[in-house]
Amino acid sequence: MEPTTTIRSFIEDYIRKQGYTLQYFADLSGVNAGTLSAIIKGTRPIAMAQLDLITQGMNLEEGYFYETYGAECFVESAPHWRRLEPFLQRCAELDKLDCIQRVIQQVTDDRSYISELFEMAEGMLERGQQKAARMLYECVAECEKYQHSERLALCQYRIFTLSLGQNQHDNLRAAVHFEPFINRLDEERQLDAIKDLANTYASLRYWEKVFNLAEELDQKTKILQSYTKKKIEKSDRLTAYPLFVYRAYSNLLKSSACEKQGRYEEALVYTELYAKLPKVSGLDEEDQLFIDKFAGWAEANTYLYKLMMGDHTVLPAYIEFIEKNEEEILPAIINILEAANKFDRNIDDILYKFSDRINSEINCLKGYTEQMKNEVYAAFLLERSLYHLNRYEYQEGLKQLIHCLRESVRFNNQTDIIHCISLYEKYKNMGTTEIEHQYKIIMMEVQKAYEKKENILYNLA
């Protein structure tokens, strides 16, 4: 279709070339003949529903005319929300993001539909149309007049969560960009925002940052609890979880941050705090679910911290715990591997016992965000590689190391990339020709990625 061809002329040409009467095509498409005639003459605009019926009647793919429709209705003429809303929604349903981008750039010049676009983005997010929703949030954020408005902050929060993915460098950039907007959010939404930001920094291993955010989460939750005497029903609250969960989670974050920095005794103190949840009046099923979750995490982490302090008497109890809680198998095995590497312990029997369930757990990793899944998987590969290398099982150790390096490159996890490279250089003389070949291929990919990045920066200069 030529760029200058209008939808009306295309319909008219199609009917003529097919040898149809107007009434026949009206019956074929399901659009009233009088309406069809008015559309072709240009005396009546085409509604989205009518456009879809006409497209179907011509046996064309869904959305065939959307690019032209967007130009005719919203770029070349003044847009009307009554027509714009269904157009954007249909584009989102068909994943025609280019059409959305072109139109919203045009219609927001006068900022007439900012409120409507924001509400539409919220609806798209609820329906799982994340890419389209993000485009609308970015448009609203760019056009928001008041820089301290709650709507702008909420847009930035949505953009932040929608930006998180497998690339750790991009995740860091998204976190740094969003952080200044937290205090502009509603007090309740701040709790979820801090939690999500802390989780992101945890995946990036910024442990001091995680600890500070956990402290902020604790303080803000205390303030909310101080003037929220009555329990807020799930249907009325803005937070994703009951308030008591955030205080418990803040202590869980603190204990994790301490553990990662080798401060195991301090980690135990915070573990005891979230193990002893405050009494919640009028417990419901949701409350009990979280109470049980934190109790389980407290038990597992108590075993872990004691194990990392050299107390190997807790290992049988730890094994018994993870046998009853299969979702904890992979994180627990990582912890046991780390302790074995630290204290030079043989855990071959444990690895053999859980081998099938480890592989199964790797494939699902329930209850983790995408960033945390990547973090857990990389940690497992690295600790297992170290375990085999420490036991002079060089072929298996290097095989696991190459796997870890490949995954770290895929996630752009620079810390693990550096660790893997340093370990490979230490043990490369123990490897096979095939392992060396795989390593060189990965390094070529890394070099290409950095050259591409440098070229982009040069072009922008």
pLDDT tens-digit map of 294-310: 999 999 999 999 999 99
Please tell me the predicted confidence (pLDDT) of residue 290.
92
Q: Work out the number of other CB atoms within 10 angstroms of the CB of residue 399.
A: 19
Q: What is the pLDDT of residues 85-144, one digit of tens each?
A: 999 999 999 999 999 998 888 776 667 788 999 999 999 999 999 999 999 999 999 988
What would the pLDDT profile of 8-63 be if each residue is shown by its tens digit? 999 999 999 999 999 999 999 999 999 999 999 988 889 999 999 999 999 999 99
Asked whether the beta carbons of 301 and 273 are under 8 A apart, the reply is no
pLDDT at 230 (0 to 100): 64
Q: What is the mean pLDDT of residues 205-228?
A: 94
CA count, 13 A, side-chain hemisphere, 165: 10
pTM of the entire predicted model: 0.84
**Overall average pLDDT of the 411-419 stretch:** 87
Are 410 and 166 in contact by the 8 Å Cβ rule? The answer is yes
pLDDT score recorded for residue 175 = 97
Which sign, positive or negative, has the C-alpha torsion 282, 283, 284, 290?
Answer: positive
pLDDT for 2: 42
Q: Once rounded to an integer, what is the mean pLDDT over residues 218-229?
A: 88
- 443 Cβ contact partners less than 8 Å away, ≥ 6 residues apart: none
Residue 458 has pLDDT above 70, yes or no: no
Q: Does 221 have pLDDT greater than 60?
A: yes
Buried b (16+ CB within 10 A) or exposed e, 37-55: eebbeeeeebbbebbbbbb
Sequence-separated (6 or more) residues with CB below 8 Å from residue 278 = 244, 247
Residue 26 token pair: 């009206």
> Is residue 74 predicted with pLDDT exceeding 90?
no
Give pLDDT, residue 460.
43
Q: Tell me, what's the pLDDT at 52?
A: 95
The beta strands (E) that lie in 189-323 are given as none
Nearest to 67 by CA among 78, 75, 59, 58: 75
Going by C-alpha positions, the residue among 126, 197, 146 that lies closest to residue 136 is: 126
DSSP state of 345: -
- Per DSSP, helices labelled H in 71-129 are 81-93, 97-107, 114-126
Helices 370-390/355-364 angle, 10° precision: 150
Q: How confident is the model at residue 244 (pLDDT cuts 50, 70, 90)?
A: very high
- State how far the Cα of 117 lies from the Cα of 137, in Å rounded to an integer: 8
Q: Is the pLDDT of residue 152 over 50?
A: yes
- Per cent of the chain over pLDDT 90 is 69
Q: Check: CB of residue 84 under 8 Å from CB of residue 103.
A: yes
Q: Please give the Cα distance from 347 to 336 (Å, whole number).
A: 8
b vs e for 330-342, b when ≥16 Cβ sit within 10 Å of the residue's Cβ?
bbbbbbbbbbbbe
**Distance, first Cα to last Cα, the chain:** 38
The rounded Cα 181 to chain-centroid distance in angstroms is 19
**Is the Cβ–Cβ distance between 136 and 118 less than 8 Å?**
yes
Burial (Cβ within 10 Å: 0-12, 13-18, ≥19) of residue 57: buried
Q: Extract the tokens encoding 115.
A: 């409120």
The one-letter amino acid at 287: D
Range 144-162 average pLDDT: 91
Please say if the pLDDT value at position 365 is more than 70.
no
Asked whether residue 396 carries a pLDDT value surpassing 80, the answer given is yes
| pLDDT value at residue 110 | 63
* pLDDT score of 137: 96
Structure confidence at residue 440 (pLDDT): 94
Instruction: Write down the mean pLDDT value for the chain.
Output: 89
